[in-house]
Amino acid sequence: MDTHLAALLQLQELEQRHRELHSQITTLPQRIAHLEKELQPARERQQAAAQAIETQQGERKQIEAQVLELKQKIEKSRAHSAEVKTNQEYRAVKDEIEWAEREIRQREDRLLALMEQAEKLEAERAGAQQTLAEQEAGLAGRREEMTAAGEVWRGEQRELEKEIHALRAQVDANLLHRYDRIAKLRGKALSAIVKETCSCCRVRLRPQFLQEISNHPERRFFCEYCGRILYQATVEVPPFTGDIQVAG
């Protein structure tokens, strides 16, 4: 295998890694945002409890105002009872007071029930709040981890870009052009010949073609079906040293 092909093979690997990193990095904000959704149930529970408490407090205030009004009414009736002249009038005032007292008792019973309920609601809200706080703490840790991973990826990406740039500068321009064109179209531009087959498109290569490939190791061959640049998988890929010789 000529050194240009060896360099391209390495380039293919680096660019593949670069693409993986790019996809990891670009989807990172989305994945971080997705983490937030995990808080939703606890947040909803907390909001529901807070809402119930508010509704309840509204009802309590209303009832307390009614009780106050009823008590004022009783005061007035009592003051009025001193001025009544007939028994009939007196009974009417007495009935009014008794009615108001019954109304007050009913409302006080309701207030007691509401107070009991309020304790449960407060406990529910506190529980939801604690769950939320715990989940938020866990999430902050994971968010930090992910952000840190993103930084590591970006660093690796920058290193890769340098290596890719150096490699590309040293590969034969025509070959590189062809490599880019195929890579853009098919993702992978280089294909190993494995068991007389193009390993990428799985098409079996013609015997004459295979013969030609082994007779001319200095030439470049392209898969007749997918157009990818072929190389012999059996040949050990020499490590790329950056020392390129022009192939014959």
Strands of the sheet containing 197-198, edge to edge, are 197-198, 190-194, 229-232
Q: What is the DSSP letter of 29?
A: H
Q: Which residues in the chain belong to E strands, given as ranges?
A: 190-194, 197-198, 229-232
Query: Torsions phi, psi of 191, nearest 5?
Result: -130, 130
- Minimum distance of Zn ion from residue 2's CB (angstroms): 20
Of 74 and 198, CB closest to Zn ion: 198
Kindly state the smallest distance separating residue 171's Cβ from Zn ion, in Å.
21
Distance CA 7, CA 19 (A): 18
Measured from the CB of residue 236, what is the shortest distance to Zn ion in angstroms? 22
Q: For Zn ion, which is the closer residue by CB, 210 or 226? A: 226
Q: Report d(CA 59, CA 72) in Å as an integer.
A: 20
Least distance between Zn ion and beta carbon 205 (Å) = 8
Nearer to Zn ion, 221 or 240 (CB): 221
Between residues 97 and 201, which has the closer beta carbon with respect to Zn ion? 201
| Binding positions for Zn ion, rule: CB under 5 A | 198, 201, 223, 225-226
* Residue 247 zone, left/alpha/beta (φ > 0; ψ -120 to 50; rest): beta
**Which of 104/213 has CB closer to Zn ion?**
213
Q: What are the start-end ranges of the H helices in the chain?
A: 3-37, 40-81, 87-170, 173-186, 207-215
Q: How far is 154 from 149, CA to CA, in rounded Å? A: 9
CB of 192 to Zn ion, least distance (A): 10
Token digits for 241?
């040293």
